[in-house]
Structure 1
Amino acid sequence: MGRAENMAAYAARIKEQKMAEDVNWGKLLDTVSEIQKWFPEGVAFIGGIAVHAYLEHSGEYAKYAAQSHDADFVIRVADMADLRDIEALTPNNRLNKQQFVKNGFEFDVYVEGQHNLPVDTADAIVYSVERNGLRVVCPEHLLKMKVFAYNDRKGSVKGDKDEADIARVFLTLNEVSEAACELDEDDLEVIHEILKGNVYRRLTDNNDFEARQLKTVCLDNFEGLRRHLGYR
C-alpha cells in the first residue's frame, strides 16, 4: 500500500472513530435528559457535561466544547429516595458520592449534606440554570467546583482537563450572578494562573492565532469578575 493509500485509510479510520464518538455522545445526552425528567427541580448537572452545555449554548464557542463519557450531578436529599427506587446505587465512601451505571454510562451522584464539594447543594440547585436543554449549576459554582478538583489533581491528565474546562467556562462568562461571592481570593489566584498560561493551545489544536484570541476573551471576562467582586 502506497503513502496515499495509507493516508486515505488513516483518514477513514479517524472519520469512523469520530462518528462512533458522536453516536455515543448522543446516547449519553439522551440518558441525561431522561434523568433530568425524573427530577426537574431536584438535580443540577456539574463537571464536564455542564461545561459542554455552556459552550453549546453560547453558539460562538461551541466548537471548543469537549465531549464526556460520563456525567455527574448534585441532588436534593429529598429526591434521593426516589432515585434509589429507580437505579441500583453503589456508595463510594472514600469520595463521598454515590454511583450508578445506566445505558452503559457511569453517573456520579453527590447527595445534599453527604459530599465534600465546596458548594452547598441547595444553593447549587437554586442558582442553577438551563443551558442547551440541560439544568446545570451556574458558572460561578461550576468554577468553584472545577478549582476544587484542579487543586486535588494538578499535574495529572485530569488536572489538565480541569484547566481546559476552567478556560472554557470563562469563554462564556460575560455576565456575573450573585453566586460569584462563592469564589474567594485563593480561587481567583488559581484561576488567574491558569488563564495567563498556554491552556488555549490545547483548545485550538495548537493554533496560535486562535489561542491568543481566546486568551484575550478569557482574561477580559476574568477582570470583569474581579471587578464585580471588588478586587483590583
Structure 2
Amino acid sequence: MEFWNDIAIEKSWKVLIGLRKEIDFILIGGWACYLLTHTIKSKDIDIIVDFEGLEKLRKKHPLKKTPFLKKYEALIEGISIEIYVPFYSVFAIPPEEIQKFSIQVEGFRIPEPEILLILKQQAELARKDSVKGQKDRVDIINLLMNSELI
C-alpha cells in the first residue's frame, strides 16, 4: 500500500539521492521511517541541516523562510523539501539534540528510532485531520511493528 503515486515517490527518491551528494543532513519524516521499516515510502523530504548546509542549499536552490513554522522550504524538481535548522526550528526534541542521537542507515543519517517516533508523534498531533496526519499514524505503527524499536 502506498499513500502517494509511484511517479511522485520515484521523483522524490531521485531528489533525495541528489541532495545527499550536495550536503550533509539528517533525514527525518516519512523517508527516515521508510529506511527503518521498508514499508511505506514518502513524497516529501524533511531534513535537518546545519547553517553551512543551509547556505550550500541557498546557493543552488531558491529557499523560502517560513518564520511562523520556524523552517525553510525549497521546491526541487517539483518535490517539497522542508528544511529545519538547529537553534531555530522547534521540535519536541531540539534539532541540535537530534544531531547527537543519529545513526547511519543505507547511506543516510537519520534519528535513532526512538527519536524518530517522537518526531512522528509531534507531526501527527499537528496535522491529525489531514492525509499527511493519516500517513504519520501509519508511520508510527510501522515504526513500532517493523523497526528495532521494541
- Normalised by the length of structure 1, the TM-score is 0.57
* Residue 23 of structure 1, CA deviation: 4.2
* Residue 28 of structure 1, CA deviation: 1.6
Q: In the TM superposition, what are the counterparts of 1:1-40 in structure 2 within 5 Å?
A: 21-40=5-24
Structure 1 runs (4+) greater than 4 angstroms displaced: none
Cα separation, 2, equivalents of 1:87 and 1:126 = 27
Q: Deviations over 1:150-204 (max 9, x none)?
A: 22233443332222111111123435xxxxxxxxxxxxxxxxxxxxxxxxxxxxx
User: Aligned letter for 1:167?
Assistant: I
* Larger fraction in strand: 2
* Larger fraction in helix: 1
Match of 1:55 among 18, 23, 37: 37
Structure 2 contact 37–147 (Cα < 8 Å) conserved: no
Q: Deviations over 1:57-96 (max 9, x none)?
A: xxxxxxxx22222111111123222221121101112211
Partner of 2:89: 115
Q: In the TM superposition, what are the counterparts of 1:1-232 in structure 2 within 5 Å?
A: 21-40=5-24, 43-56=25-38, 65-174=39-148, 221=150
Structure 2 contact 85–95 (Cα < 8 Å) conserved: yes
Larger Rg computed on CA atoms: 1
* Residue 111 of structure 1, CA deviation: 1.3
Cα separation, 2, equivalents of 1:146 and 1:83 = 25
User: Aligned letter for 1:22?
Assistant: D
Distance of aligned partners of 1:132 and 1:171 in 2 relative to their CA distance in 1, 3 Å threshold: farther
Which structure 2 residue ranges, 5 or more long, are not aligned? none
Cα separation, 1, equivalents of 2:78 and 2:6 = 15
User: Aligned letter for 1:32?
Assistant: L
Cα separation, 1, equivalents of 2:128 and 2:11 = 31
Distance of aligned partners of 1:157 and 1:26 in 2 relative to their CA distance in 1, 3 Å threshold: closer
* Residue 101 of structure 1, CA deviation: 0.7
* Residue 134 of structure 1, CA deviation: 2.5
* Residue 105 of structure 1, CA deviation: 0.5
* Secondary structure at the counterpart of residue 33 of structure 1: helix
* Secondary structure at the counterpart of residue 94 of structure 1: helix
Structure 1 contact 36–135 (Cα < 8 Å) conserved: no
Structure 1 contact 28–105 (Cα < 8 Å) conserved: yes
* Residue 27 of structure 1, CA deviation: 2.5
Distance of aligned partners of 1:83 and 1:122 in 2 relative to their CA distance in 1, 3 Å threshold: same
Which structure 1 residue ranges, 5 or more long, are not aligned? 1-17, 57-64, 176-220, 222-232
Q: How many residues align?
A: 148
Identity over the aligned pairs, expressed in percent? Answer: 25
* Secondary structure at the counterpart of residue 101 of structure 1: strand
Output the aligned Cα RMSD: 2.2
* Secondary structure at the counterpart of residue 68 of structure 2: coil
